[in-house]
Structure 1
Amino acid sequence: MGLVQRQSLRNTLISYVGLIIGFVNTTIILPRLLSSSQLGLTTTLVAIATLGAQLAAFGLASTTIRYFPYFRNQGRAHAGFLPLLLTLPLLGFGVVASVLWLGKPLILQLYHRDTALLAPHYGVVFGLAGVMLLYALFDAFLRALFRSAFSSFLMEVVIRLLIVAAAAAYWQGYLNFSGFVLAYAGSYAVVALLLLVYVAAIGELNLRPQRHSLRIKPLRELVGFGAFALLSNISGTVLLTIDNLMVGAKLSLAAAGVYAIATNISTALTLPFRALNKTAFPLIAEYWKDGAMDKMADFYRRSTRVGTIVGCYLALGIGLNLDFIYGLIHRPEYATATTAVLLLLLGRLIDGITGVNGSIVLTSPRYRYDLIFNLSLSASIVGLNWLLIPRYGLTGAALAYCVAISSINLIRTAFVWYVYGLQPFDRRIGLILLVAAVAGAVAWALPTLPNSWLTLLLRGSTLTIIFGLGLLLTRTAPELNNLITRVRQLIKH
């Protein structure tokens, strides 16, 4: 097995372990140990720092993936690529830190309802943004070296364990809340430091600049690509953070904490779609290179069908058992976001079902349109949040996300169909949605049992049996029928 395959396998395993730890950590443990206001504060600090780090990086993380192959093994230390990678973002961090400092009165005014809570901890943003920036740059450097497993382990597993340890120390009285916030931020500093040590340990921490590095690729070209990548990446960051930031500003940090848990619950739906897109991206790029449009069309249909099946099953499984999930937290205020979770699940389901269209656009000759779609999505979410949060609260934020991401995916799907003649929907998709609706309705109509675990088992098993049998009888999932046929043949032999 080659190096890339080993790293891919390790990253996949780490992602699944991290998902389990992250779900238990952010959905069950932290809400029980922290108040909604405290949880909202930490979420807000991380969101502001993430945006700051993204701006300071100026797209150089993506530039590393794109251009490092030209520098690899060019003399000593890859022609001085690492100091070239670090210089501009560190200068950018100085600018971003200045803006955050000068903008402190404005930000505190936006969060005027919680100034007493936010103001004493605002300085943490600077340290958080700095260590996030360093982590992102070294992570990109290691990915370019095909050594990404350790950095994935740090961010998916280690940091989550450190954060929950800090929360437990606060709950037991070993730390006051200010100490917890510092420990929370310190968790990011620890993983950045460990990543730095790892880079040094593998002999890649070469910080001496080399003049001839700019002869390989001119700085103007690197910065130009970085600017394009920044605009594309910042839209993704806005998608992940803006609704929580605007909930905190327009409602309260307590509301932001409640909404953060709703977001975490719905995020569990995205894992299979992320795994699918990781596989789809290089495969679709290969189809474009070979001009294999028939293979691309077939993959587009099959991946959409599989995504619809898995997505509907998970969305229904989560939605039908929200009472059980919120019951694990033992804090009734978090359950007020139940409607928000359902809307977020719907938006993520539509995004997942149609998500391969993004990979098709991004790897196509018209890849620049992907930037237009991403910027339009960011603007739509900001605008809709601005209108809907004051009127409908957390439900408004979730509705804004659902409407914006559904609309942009429908537009992008239409774009791929119009320009390249590719569209993934056939009668099987309609049948899958019908079977899912019937299975979900039957499971929802079941009575709630005195024991929540028995209710979970009853609804989950009913959903699984009806959904599975419906797919088999309608023959809408050839992959499932083929799997059963193979199992039968193995049993016979």
Structure 2
Amino acid sequence: MGIVQRQGLRNTIISYIGLALGFVSTALVLPNFLEPQQLGVTATLASVATLYAQIAAFGFASVGIRFFPYFRQPESGHQGFLPLLVGVPLLGFAVVTALYFVGEPLLLPWYGRDAPLLAPYYAWGAVLAFFTMLYSVQDAYLKALYHTAFSSFVQDILLRILIVGGAFLFGLGYLSFSGYVLWFVGVNSALALLLTGYVAAIGELHWRPTRQVLTVRPLREMLGMGAFTLLGSLSGSIILYIDTLMVGAQVSVAAAGIYVVASNISTALAIPARSLNKVAFPLLADYWKQQDLPRMADFYRRATRLNTLLGCFLFLGISLNLDFIYSLMRNARYAEGTVVVLLLLGSKLFDGITGVNGLMVVTSPRYRFDLIFNVSLAVLTIVLNGLLIPRLGMVGAAVAACVAQVSINVARTWFVWHSYRMQPFTWRIPLIVGIAAVAGVAAWLLPTLSSPLLTMLLRSTVLTVVYATLILATNSSPEATLFLAKIRARFPKK
């Protein structure tokens, strides 16, 4: 097994463990130790640092992956590529940091009466942004070297364990809240230092700059590529983090904390689609290379059907049992995010049902249109948040996310159909949605028991039995029927 296969297998395992650990820690563990206001502070810091770091890096993380093959030369330290890869973001960080501190009197007042909560940690936002940027650049360098498993492990598993550990220390009284914030910043920053140590351990820490690095590829070309990718990556981060920042600024930091927990609960629905995308990306790229559009269209339909099947089940499983999920949190205020969870679940369900249209665009010859879609989605999200949050509070942010996500997916689906005459819908899609509705109503009509746990178990059992029975009886998902046949084959009748 080659290094790419080994790293890919390890990344897959780490990704699944990380997704499960992330859901448990951010949706269930942290809310039991942190008040909404406190969780809102750390979420705001993380959101600011991520956007700050991406602007400072100027897209050079992607540049590292894109251009490293031209510089690859182990005997010469890759011709001074690492100092260039880190040097440009460091210059960008110096500029953005100056603006960050000069703009403090303008930025903090956005948070109104909650500004004093964030003010003591404003400078730490710059520290967190610096190490976030350093991590992203080194992570890109390791990807170019085909060493990705370690960085995935520290980001997806180790970081989450350490943050939960800090929350336990805070809950047991060993840390004040200020101490927990410093712990939060410290463990995030430590990841970059761990990567530096790992790069050194594998013998790839080549810090000596060379003039030769400027002759391999024109710097202007790399900066242009960086600017292009910056728009795409920044748009993606805005989509992920702007709602938290705007809820905190226009409602309260506590509302931002409640919103973050609700958002984390809804992410469980996206796990199947994310897992499928890991397989879909290289597969679609290969189909485009071979110009095998019939097989691509078939994969498009099957992927959409599978996402619909799993997405509908998870949507119902989470939404019907929200009372139980929130009952696990000691602070009842987090339950104020119930409507937010439902709206975000709907948004992610639609994203799954519309298939892998985004990946089809980005791997196609017309991949530049993906940037237009991402920028449009980011702008639409900001505009809708600005209009709806003042009127509806944090629910307005969820409505904005839902409307923006549905709109852009409709546009992407139309674009793929218009450009390549491929669309993912067959008669089985509405049939699966209809079956989900029947199963959901059957579970919802059950009486609420005195114990939230028993209610959850009863509803989940009925939902699973009704949903699975109807899916198999109607053969609405051949994949599910085939899966059941394989299981039966392992247990032959005697």
TM-score of the superposed pair, with normalisation by structure 1: 0.98
Q: Structure 2: how far apart are the matches of 1:36 and 1:492?
A: 54
Q: Give CA-to-partner distance per residue, 1:72-99, whole Å, 9 cap, x none.
A: 2264111211111011000000011111
CA distances 1:198-235 after superposition (whole Å, capped 9, x unpaired) = 11110011011122222221111111111110000001
Cα distance in 2 for partners of 1:234, 1:469 equals 44
Q: Among the aligned pairs, what percent are the same residue?
A: 55
**1:139 partnered with 2:156:** no
- How many angstroms apart in 2 are the aligned matches of 1:164 and 1:117? 22
Summarize deviations over 1:138-161 as a string: whole Å, max 9, x none: 111111111111111101111111
Distance 1:219 1:160, change over 3 A: same
One-letter identity of the residue aligned with 2:112: H
Counterparts in 2 of 1:114-125, with a 5 A limit? 114-125=114-125
**Most deviating of 138-147 and 19-28:** 19-28
Give the Cα separation in 1 of the matches to 2:355 and 2:384.
22
Contact 2:300 2:355 survives alignment (8 Å): no
| Structure 1 equivalent of residue 264 of structure 2 | 264
Identify the residue that residue 324 of structure 2 maps to in structure 1: 324
Q: Does 1:7 align with 2:7?
A: yes
- 1:6 Cα deviation after fit: 1.2
- Quote the Cα distance in structure 2 between the aligned partners of 1:414 and 1:286: 23
Give the corresponding residue for 1:346. 346
Q: Deviations over 1:286-331 (max 9, x none)?
A: 1111110001001100100001101111111111111111110121
* CA shift for structure 1 position 379: 0.5
For 1:315, the equivalent position in structure 2 comes to 315
1:198-209 pair list within 5 angstroms: 198-209=198-209
Inter-partner Cα distance in structure 2 for 1:39 and 1:60 = 31
Task: Decide which moves more: 214-223 or 81-90.
Answer: 214-223
- Conservation of the 8 A alpha-carbon contact between 1:93 and 1:130: yes
Is 2:215 aligned against 1:220? no
In structure 2, C-alpha distance between the alignment counterparts of 1:63 and 1:350, rounded to whole Å: 32
Q: Which amino acid aligns with 2:55?
A: L
Q: What residue in structure 1 maps to residue 422 of structure 2? A: 422
Say which SS state the counterpart of residue 492 (structure 1) adopts.
Answer: coil
Q: Which residue of 1 aligns with 2:393?
A: 393
Aligned to 2:174: 174
| Cα RMSD after superposing both structures | 1.2
CA distance in 1, matches of 2:275, 2:484: 24
Contact 1:304–1:353, Cα closer than 8 Å, also in 2 = yes
Give the letter aligned to residue 112 of structure 1. Answer: G
Alignment correspondent of 2:197? 197
Q: Which amino acid aligns with 1:350?
A: F
Look up the SS of the partner of 1:123 in the other structure: helix
Range moving further from structure 2, 169-178 or 77-86: 169-178
- Which TM-score applies when normalising by structure 2? 0.98
Question: Match of 2:81, as an amino acid?
Answer: F
Structure 2: distance between partners of 1:54 and 1:45: 14
Q: Tell me the amino acid that sits aligned with residue 450 of structure 1.
A: S
* Pairing 1:455-470 to 2, within 5 Å after superposition: 455-470=455-470
In the alignment, structure 1 residue 159 sits paired with structure 2 residue 159: yes
Which AA in structure 1 matches 2:98?
S
Q: Find the aligned partners of 1:69 and 1:276 in 2 and give their Cα distance.
A: 28
Partner of 1:128: 128
Q: CA deviation at 1:355?
A: 4.4
For 2:267 and 2:490, the matched residues in 1 are separated by: 37
Q: Residues 385-441 of structure 1, C-alpha deviation per residue, up to 9 Å, x if partnerless?
A: 001111111111100000001100001100100111010001001101111111111
* 1: CA distance, partners of 2:77 / 2:445: 64
Residue 111 of structure 1 aligns to a residue in which SS? helix
What runs of 5+ residues in structure 2 fail to find an aligned partner?
none
1:253: Cα distance to partner? 0.2
- Distance in 2 (alpha carbons) for counterparts of 1:183 and 1:331: 23
C-alpha contact (below 8 Å) 1:131/1:188 kept by paired residues: yes
In structure 1, the residue matched to 2:98 is: 98
- 1:435 is matched by which residue type in structure 2? I
| d(CA) in 1 for partners of 2:140, 2:445 | 49
Deviation at residue 171 of structure 1 after TM alignment:
2.0
Give yes or no for contact 1:355–1:409 (8 Å, CA) kept in 2.
no
> Larger deviation: 11-20 or 196-205?
11-20
Residue in 1 that maps onto 2:336 = 336
Residues 42-53 of structure 1 correspond to what in structure 2 (within 5 A)?
42-53=42-53
> Is contact 2:355-2:424 (8 Å) kept?
no
In 2, Cα distance between equivalents of 1:2 and 1:74: 19
Supply the distance in 2 between the matched residues of 1:246 and 1:169 (Cα, whole angstroms).
30
What one-letter code is carried by the residue in structure 2 that aligns with 1:384?
A: L
CA distance in 2, matches of 1:204, 1:75: 11
For the residue of structure 1 that corresponds to 2:491, the secondary structure is helix
Task: State the distance in 1 between where 2:170 and 2:458 align.
Answer: 38
Shift of 1:13: 1.1
Q: CA deviation at 1:336?
A: 0.9
Instruction: Please give the secondary structure, in 2, of the residue aligned with 1:122.
Output: helix
SS in structure 2 at match of 1:95: helix
2:459 counterpart of 1:473: no
* Structure 1 alignment gaps of length 5 or more: none
Deviates more, 1:231-240 or 1:189-198: 189-198
Instruction: Choose 160-169 or 179-188, whichever is displaced more.
Output: 160-169
Kindly report which structure 2 residues correspond to 1:243-262, keeping only aligned pairs within 5 A, or say none: 243-262=243-262
Give secondary structure in 2 for the equivalent of 1:174.
coil
Equivalence map 1:355-366=2 (5 Å): 355-366=355-366
Rounded to whole Å, the distance in 2 between the matches of 1:16 and 1:249 is: 34
Distance 2:408 2:125 in 1: 32
Give, in angstroms, the shift of residue 44 of structure 1: 0.4
Is the CA contact (8 Å cut-off) linking 2:35 and 2:331 kept in structure 1? no
Greater shift, 379-388 or 14-23, is seen at: 14-23
Letter in structure 1 aligned against 2:47 = A
The equivalences for 1:276-295 within 5 A come to 276-295=276-295
Q: Which residue is 1:57 aligned to?
A: 57
Offset, 1:344? 0.2
Aligned partners of 2:110 and 2:249 also within 8 Å: yes
Post-superposition shift, 1:237? 0.2
CA distance in 2, matches of 1:301, 1:115: 49
1:483 deviates by: 2.1
Do 1:388 and 1:397's aligned partners in 2 also have CA atoms closer than 8 Å? yes
Q: Structure 1: how far apart are the matches of 2:485 and 2:458?
A: 28
Match of 1:383 in 2: 383
Q: Which moved more, 1:81-90 or 1:443-452?
A: 443-452
Higher mean C-alpha displacement, 31-40 vs 20-29: 20-29
Secondary structure at 1:79 match in 2: helix
Q: In the superposition, relative to structure 1, how do residues 167 and 483 fare at CA in structure 2: closer, same or farther (>3 Å)?
A: closer
| 1:278 aligned counterpart, secondary structure | helix
Residue 81 of structure 2 corresponds to which residue in structure 1? 81
Query: How far apart in 2 are the matches of 1:227 and 1:115?
Result: 33
How far has the Cα of 1:29 moved from its partner?
1.7
